[in-house]
A and B are shown apart, each in its own frame.
Chain A
Amino acid sequence: MTVRRTGLRFELLLFLLAAAFFALGYARPGGGPGPFEPGPRAAGVLRVLTWNVGQSDGSLAADDVMHVATVIRQLEPDLCFLQEVANTRQIQKLLRDLGPEWTHSSKRERGGSQLAVLARGGWLVSFHVPAARAVAHGVRLRTSNGRTVSAIGLHADTFSSRKRNEQIGSAVEFLSRRHPDTAKIVAGDLNLDLDLDKRRDLFSDDSYLDVETYNFVADRLVDTAQGRGSTAEPDRRLDYIFASPAHFEVVAAGPVAGQRRGAMDHDPVVADLRFR
């Protein structure tokens, strides 16, 4: 009888320990940041946005152009990098809707759609990025308060990590060499699907190759939305805004959820950067 009671007590102790440890472990919410919500743009901050506005099976749908303009107006960026805009008519439509203070520069990307850079205030001058001509669009921005930024909008290859390495690496190297002293931004859909930190992915068979590319860039520029979660379906982080740490302090950055419409498969990513 005593033996049976001892056994029962021991069993209860084990259950109690399990309950206590579960309570301790699950009392604290799980890791990972909450959803990013950009606040009002602070004075002296350059707000940058990148968004692959295309659909999962093609470029930006004509019906969604006004939606893209609405989101841009709501998020109030100073500099926008758009990928997979279907044609120049869509860019003109966007600009008409956004207002006269916006300027733009665009180029045809591989596949026929447009890489567009839109800027509010100031002026833009485009430049070629020789080794990554088909996927990169360089611009030099003079902001309304007299600052100069050299930037490259990118839409790197979807399928080949080797091509991505060439495209992204050469663009970053070109920017560093050609504009050594100016503030630098590299933004766009880099298609680098990495599990940087404690995330998992059994889909990708070449993610280790993208590790090379990501770290090459991260060695030179700061990944502004690092640790803020995925930007595209399904649960992948493909869209990045990199900025030169010597010239910018990152105030806040991250993907803005809930802005996709129709068959869009990317979230816009926003970064608030303060000039040093």
Chain B
Amino acid sequence: MILRLEMLKIQRSRRPHLAGVAILLFLGLMLLGFYTYATNEQGAADFRYTFENRSYFNGLTFALYAFYFGFLLILPIFAVTEGGAQVAGETAAGTLLLLLSRPLSRTRLFLSKLAMASSVTVALVVTLLLTAMGVGLLVVGWGDLDLYPGVLQMTDRHQHLPQGEAIGRFALAVPFACIALSVPLALSMFVGTWLRSPINTVGASMALYLVLYVISEIHFFAELRPWLFTSYMAYWRELFQEEIAWSSVWSDAARLLGFAFLFLALAFRRFRLREET
């Protein structure tokens, strides 16, 4: 019953629709960028000594580029929005008090909100990936996936994945990417238990995410990197190596899950103990 109610609320909020439109807009711009780059490269012959060839850019390369940037910069916004809307949104609307006046435990309510927010996040990851691959197939055409050192910082040596294997790796990336996105989601749920406005919650959570992300990217803070969850957000890149280093994938996933459960525990503690007025 409560799950059905939460689902209805999400449908009526139109947040998933907005996210879908944003993903389409992002992919459209990525496609435009791809074509502009390709045209400039072929027309101007910028580099005399180049490793690139005509078969390098294909639909799978496009999908990987789009998923990489979309995952790191677009999807966290919507994960954070979903997490922030759950508790803070209900608090601001005054419906949380109404819900809690019913014979419904806070644990169950929290779990149902978490389940719905997580489902939306998973759906967004799948939508982004499938749409990127679909656009890649229809507009550019698939092929083998070649990755070169320096490109997206994905590998330190040339990697070649035949088309079938590459598609399998994309499928494999989905659950691991969802684990990574669960952290900003849990963070915003935690922030949402402290702030009463969903806009402030999303703003504060997104600001925290971006600050930590930038810090983890700058050389000066190399010592801090292991302790920031943003350092592991793109850990699923490892899945696109010819030989996957599974121990590294599992340890990064475990760290991310540790952060996600920590934020959820803190969020639930606050949610459980706070007085609703």
| CB contact between A31 and one of B219, B220, B248 (< 8 Å): that residue | B248
A22 in contact (CB, < 8 A): yes
> How far in angstroms is the closest Cβ of chain B from A48?
20
Complexed CA–CA distance, A31 and B51 (Å): 28
> How far in angstroms is the closest Cβ of chain B from A22?
4
> How far in angstroms is the closest Cβ of chain A from B115?
14
In the complex with contacts A25-B255, A165-B47, A196-B149, A6-B107 CB distance below 8 A: yes
State the main secondary structure of chain B at its contact with A: helix
B252 contacts A212, C-beta separation under 8 Å: no
In the complex with contacts A7-B106, A202-B214, A218-B255 CB distance below 8 A: no
- Stretch of B6-14, B86-94, B259-267 at the chain-chain interface: B259-267
B4 in contact (CB, < 8 A): no
A227 contacts B255, C-beta separation under 8 Å: no
A219 contacts B265, C-beta separation under 8 Å: no
B217 contacts A202, C-beta separation under 8 Å: yes
Contact indicator per residue, chain B 183-227, by CB within 8 Å of chain A (1) or not (0): 000000000000000000000000000000010111110100010
CB under 8 Å from chain B, chain A span 156-214: 162, 165-166, 168-170, 172-173, 194-203, 207-214
> How far in angstroms is the closest Cβ of chain B from A220?
10
| CB contact between A18 and one of B51, B148, B261 (< 8 Å): that residue | B261
Chain B CB count within 10 A is highest, among A198, A216, A227, for: A198
Q: Please give, as numbers and ranges, the residues of chain B lying within 8 Å of A10 by CB-CB distance.
A: 107, 268
B254 in contact (CB, < 8 A): yes
B150 in contact (CB, < 8 A): yes
CB under 8 Å from chain B, chain A span 215-274: 215-216, 218-219, 223, 226-227, 234-235
- Stretch of B25-33, B61-69, B151-159, B167-175 at the chain-chain interface: B151-159
A200 contacts B148, C-beta separation under 8 Å: no
Q: Please give, as numbers and ranges, the residues of chain B lying within 8 Å of A168 by CB-CB distance.
A: 49
In the complex with contacts A11-B268, A25-B258, A227-B156, A214-B150 CB distance below 8 A: yes
CB under 8 Å from chain A, chain B span 37-68: 46-52
Complexed CA–CA distance, A198 and B248 (Å): 12
A198 contacts B258, C-beta separation under 8 Å: no
Complexed CA–CA distance, A24 and B48 (Å): 48
Complexed CA–CA distance, A234 and B157 (Å): 23
Q: Please give, as numbers and ranges, the residues of chain B lying within 8 Å of A196 by CB-CB distance.
A: 149-150, 153, 155-156
B254 contacts A21, C-beta separation under 8 Å: yes
B52 contacts A214, C-beta separation under 8 Å: no
B163 in contact (CB, < 8 A): no
A71 in contact (CB, < 8 A): no
A202 contacts B218, C-beta separation under 8 Å: yes
Residue of B nearest to A171 (CB): B49
Complexed CA–CA distance, A177 and B258 (Å): 55
Q: Please give, as numbers and ranges, the residues of chain A lying within 8 Å of B262 by CB-CB distance.
A: 15, 18, 22
B50 contacts A25, C-beta separation under 8 Å: no
Complexed CA–CA distance, A198 and B265 (Å): 30
B157 contacts A226, C-beta separation under 8 Å: yes
Complexed CA–CA distance, A207 and B133 (Å): 27
Q: Please give, as numbers and ranges, the residues of chain A lying within 8 Å of B17 by CB-CB distance.
A: none
B155 contacts A197, C-beta separation under 8 Å: yes
> How far in angstroms is the closest Cβ of chain A from B54?
15
B261 contacts A211, C-beta separation under 8 Å: no
Residue of B nearest to A8 (CB): B272
A25 contacts B158, C-beta separation under 8 Å: no
Q: Please give, as numbers and ranges, the residues of chain B lying within 8 Å of A3 by CB-CB distance.
A: 105-107
Apart from A211-B150, A219-B158: 4 A-B pairs, beta carbons within 8 A: A18-B265, A25-B257, A211-B151, A235-B219
Please provide the 3 A-B residue pairs with the shortest distance between their CB atoms, ordered closest to farther: A169-B49, A25-B255, A25-B254
